A and B are shown apart, each in its own frame.
Chain A
């Protein structure tokens, strides 16, 4: 089972791109059999109790989706290492820390990736910049491909 967590604030323009992509993915996948192997969460920010979602027995892989300003590429995809968890946090957590929490507190080690979408504007507002929109479109296609490929591999 894939767990996809898109996060951000929809009232801070591009900051909400990860949240919006998660919502779009949920609609996009809903009619397809593939959706049975994917759980999607759209959240405002990463909070400690999400560790319980990562630690669920059926979750093998986690994809976090966030927006990042100052990123030249439309998308970046990187593997996450729980050992790299930054300990400090405010009211929101780094995705590595959630993986670390799942591992240390619940002895579950799903593999994790972070997909970042290029962001340009993060002021008050509910409109995405052209750059964030483009990143979201490309990301939708990429995540779809990843999920389809993973399902084929699992079927073999």
Chain B
């Protein structure tokens, strides 16, 4: 599929390419690419065209309700909101959350990493990675993947189902569990469930072996392209443990630059948020956070799996550490891995690490301890909760009155923090792959894939029967429709 841009006859006409909606991401967004007079890319933008409004919706409600409400921001990463919200609630209570509760929350968070990353790798990015960026779009989708690689699709579904079932075993349901609460959790894990999940782990590790092989094949196949997928210097931000290890639930924030230097370390959530500014643009509902001391250009930072592997000193589990060493070869000695294409690889390392942590926790006798909740009233009027969501660092910042009613709510989501980097990625891809003569479907798909590597979650969480098709229009600067292609 191609669009002839008739460059010979319209050489003086500025053109805009619009890709809307972007498929295989959560939520609604579009990409526009501005071409200059000679058909070269002048600018490219990632527009988030929906407004969530959850923060306003929550004002005046009790902070006790927040884990249940904010978990409904999205059906894909409800656990992340549940945990960040509960941790903000912990801070408002001002009590020590019992260690068994913390362990159970960690367990659910690892299960969430497994299910969310499995969906991203196997079923959302899988069609591009396994069928090829240039494959016919009629086939390059989940149905096509199932047809051509049914065994891979089955493995991906089993891995995702494993994570979902573990979440359900803890929280009674896999989507929107309201199990974690300020001060702890509502219930523990049954002994029979422990054995059930332990028995499934060998199969899950085998699936990861297959996935890692597929990933390395894809890296060979796309070796000449990897550097176009958002490969540029930026800061990386993520939680690390007190020992500098890979961390997804607690610890402190670390900022690292592309040369692998630690810019700041041991930051509390409060201190980190004090160093972040949020720029705004009229063309997107998503803000553009940056590290204030470096300004909007140099202060651009990335969060999520790639960032977490770049900021940590080690993973802390044997299989993941082995894989992490291989992963780091792609950055060079002492440097960070800078191409956003490696988000895919990083997700797999994180699934491996999560499975190992799940195995450790399931074998830990702390799960038998019944002290899983501390009870108190409002002791602090401000609470900040942070956790690592599959897509990156997530902050819930609440201010309450003395009765616990919310006066201010600020949710800082991972996808927002990657916004500057996502925009820079699509510009890099568009510049590399699009020139003024033709719009090839495969080239446009590469631009879309530049967004998919971040696995953004725009969280509209609404749906109706039927799907919106992709509709790409080519317009002259005066708005005249020059050409268009439709998909679906």
Contact = CB atoms under 8 A, between A and B. Distances in A.
Contacts of B164: 47, 49
Given A9-B463, A47-B175, A94-B467, 5 more contacts: A15-B463, A49-B164, A86-B143, A90-B23, A90-B27
A9 to B, nearest CB: 5
B488 A44 contact: no
A101 interface: yes
Interface of B: 23-27, 53-54, 57, 69, 72, 75-76, 119, 123-124, 138-144, 146-147, 150, 153-154, 156-157, 160-161, 164, 175-176, 457, 461-467, 470, 487-488
B94 to A, nearest CB: 29
B72 to A, nearest CB: 5
A52 B157 contact: yes
A47 B167 CA distance: 15
Contact of B465 (A100, A101, A114): A114
Contacts of A106: 154
Pick from B54, B147, B153, B462 the residue with the most CB of A within 10 Å. B462
A10 B72 contact: yes
Contacts of A94: 466-467
Interface residues of A, number: 40
Contacts of B24: 88-90
Interface string A20-60: 00000000000000000000000111011101100000000
B464 A88 contact: no
A79 to B, nearest CB: 14
A116 B161 contact: no
Contacts of B140: 87
A11 B72 contact: yes
Contacts of B156: 48
Contacts of B146: 100-101, 104-105
B53, B147, B175: most-surrounded residue (chain A CB, <10 A): B175
Given A44-B176, A68-B465, A87 B139 contact: yes
Contact of A105 (B154, B160, B161, B457): B154
A105 to B, nearest CB: 5
A11 B75 CA distance: 12
A69 interface: yes
Nearest to A52: B161
Interface in A103-140: 104-106, 114, 116, 119, 122, 124
5 contacts: A9-B463, A66-B465, A67-B464, A87-B143, A90-B25
Contacts of A47: 75, 119, 160, 164, 175
B119 A48 contact: yes
B75 A92 contact: yes
B393 to A, nearest CB: 20
Interface string A61-90: 000001111000000000000000111111
B54 A48 contact: no
A47 B176 CA distance: 14
A64 to B, nearest CB: 9
Contacts of B141: 87-89
Contacts of A91: 25-26, 75-76, 119, 124, 457
B153 A124 contact: no
Contacts of B23: 88-90
A49 B487 CA distance: 26
Contacts of B119: 47-48, 91
B462 A122 contact: yes
A92 B463 contact: yes
B160 A48 contact: yes
Most buried by A among B143, B154, B160, B466: B143
B69 to A, nearest CB: 7
Contact of A44 (B138, B157, B161, B175): B175
B175 A43 contact: yes
A6 B161 CA distance: 19
A124 B142 contact: no
A124 B467 contact: no
B157 A87 contact: no
Nearest to A101: B146
Contacts of A104: 146-147, 150
Given A97-B143, A104-B146, A104-B150, A12 B461 contact: yes
A87 B465 contact: no
A7 B463 CA distance: 9
Given A51-B157, A104-B146, A44 B462 contact: no
Given A48-B123, A88-B142, A116 B465 contact: yes
A85 B26 contact: no
